[in-house]
Amino acid sequence: MDFVKIQELVKQIAEKYAYPVPTIKMNTRMVITTGKCWPQRHIIELSKKYCDFAADKDIEDLIKHEIAHMKHPNHGWGFKVACMEMGVSHGFRDSHSETDGYSEYIGKHAKVKYECPNCGKISSTLRPYKKIHSCGKCCPGVFNSIYELKRVK
Ligand SMILES: [Zn+2]
Ligand SMILES: [Zn+2]
């Protein structure tokens, strides 16, 4: 989505849901972080690489997610309710990193890949993990050495 279209969409959404219209900055270096919000300054920064790649619907969800941060700086309940009111799809209410579009996007930019020895799921990342990780699909939320990811690339 190009910058003009993004700005129009941001204005539309902010006005519709009674938020101040933020200033949008496109960040050409940001890759992993797709959006950032400075609530006091009414500034939202978006990853240009992500906006060049992602589907319109995902960009709309990202914009709504960042707009909700203007009233709710963290991802608490107030934030989630604000997102639901704007019709943000589920994955974007906590963090965009849980959506399929995001995994695909990171996969495209990934330099490092890990494989789960149990289910064979490949995880892509930009930089090698500092700590050992286990598969999020086989043992979500906890570390288990049985499912320790092996670096394949
Ligand atoms: Zn957020
Ligand atoms: Zn697994």
Task: State the distance from the centre of ligand 1 to the C-alpha of 151, rounded, in angstroms.
Answer: 29
Residue 98's pLDDT is what? 67
Q: How far is the CA of 116 from the centre of ligand 2 (A)?
A: 5
Sign, CA dihedral 93-96-99-101, equals positive
Which domains, and CATH codes, for the chain?
3-95 (3.30.2010.10), 110-151 (no CATH)
**What stretches in the chain show pLDDT beneath 70?**
96-98
Q: What pLDDT is recorded for position 51?
A: 96
Distance of CA 33 from the midpoint of ligand 1 (Å): 10
Residues whose Cβ atom is located within 5 A of ion ligand 2: 116, 118-119, 121, 135, 137-138
User: Cβ distance 46 to 10 under 8 Å?
Assistant: no
DSSP 4-42: HHHHHHHHHHHHHTT----EEEEESS--S--EEEETTTT
* DSSP-derived pairing of the beta strands 23-27 and 43-47: parallel
pLDDT in tens, 44-64: 999 999 999 999 999 999 999
Q: Judge if pTM exceeds 0.85.
A: no
User: Ligand 1: distance of its center to the CA of 92 in Å?
Assistant: 8
**Tokens encoding 93:** 């209410």
Residues found in the chain: 153
Residue 134 forms beta bridges with which residues?
148
